[in-house]
Structure formats: structure tokens, C-alpha cells
């Protein structure tokens, strides 16, 4: 697997886990109800796959640029809220009790 695609898949996994696990834990919600009403997994999975394939093709032409761009995607997913949940770092901090 190309390294750019691996970083994008990691970012998609973190975003999906944030929507399905971290946000309900941080806000004391039920997982089943949250999965049905609050998640955007049906958008997140195809978008991650398309971006991974695109960056794999870009990595053939410009490897440094593709790896850098995928690293920025991973960083952005950690810090910027994606979907209906807050940012993963916010949700984890809320769950742990850091204010």
C-alpha cells in the first residue's frame, strides 16, 4: 500500500471512530442511537476511499507532495471537527476530563 493512502485511511479511521465512539462517550450518549442519528459514516467511507485512490495516483507523479498532503489531511482530521461530532482531540479531552 502506498504511504499516502495509508495516512488517508488512518485519517478516515480516526474520523469514523470519532463519529461512532469518541463523541458518544464524551457526551454520554447511547451508541446505537448515536450511530443511527448522529453519524455521517455513509459519506465518510466513500470519501476516504476516493481520496486514498486519488493520492495513490498523485504519489506516482509527485511522491513528496502526495505524502505531505496526506499528512496534512491526518493532522486536520485530528484538530478540525469533521461531520456532526467535534474534533477527536476535543472529544477525548472531554471524556478524560480535561477542560
Q: How far is residue 17's CA from residue 11's CA, in Å, rounded to a whole number?
A: 10
Q: Is the pLDDT of residue 8 over 90?
A: yes
Tell me the per-residue pLDDT of 22-69, one tens digit each, with 9 for 90 and over: 777 777 777 666 666 666 778 889 999 999 999 999 999 999 999 999
What was the pLDDT predicted at 65? 95
Its pTM stands at 0.84
Range(s) of the domain holding residue 59: 3-96
Q: How far is residue 36's CA from residue 22's CA, in Å, rounded to a whole number?
A: 15
Q: Is the pLDDT of residue 1 over 60?
A: no
Total structural domains within the chain: 1
Q: Is the pLDDT of residue 70 over 90?
A: yes
User: How large a percentage of the chain has pLDDT more than 90?
Assistant: 46
What was the pLDDT predicted at 92? 84
Amino acid at each position: 500500500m502506498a504511504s499516502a493512502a495509508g495516512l488517508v485511511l488512518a485519517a478516515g479511521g480516526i474520523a469514523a471512530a470519532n463519529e461512532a465512539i469518541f463523541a458518544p462517550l464524551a457526551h454520554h450518549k447511547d451508541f446505537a442511537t448515536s450511530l443511527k442519528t448522529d453519524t455521517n459514516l455513509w459519506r465518510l467511507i466513500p470519501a476516504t476511499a476516493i481520496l486514498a485512490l486519488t493520492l495513490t495516483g498523485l504519489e506516482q507523479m509527485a511522491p513528496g507532495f502526495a505524502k505531505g498532503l496526506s499528512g496534512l489531511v491526518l493532522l486536520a482530521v485530528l484538530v478540525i471537527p469533521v461531520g456532526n461530532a467535534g474534533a477527536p482531540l476535543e472529544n477525548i479531552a472531554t471524556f478524560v476530563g480535561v477542560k
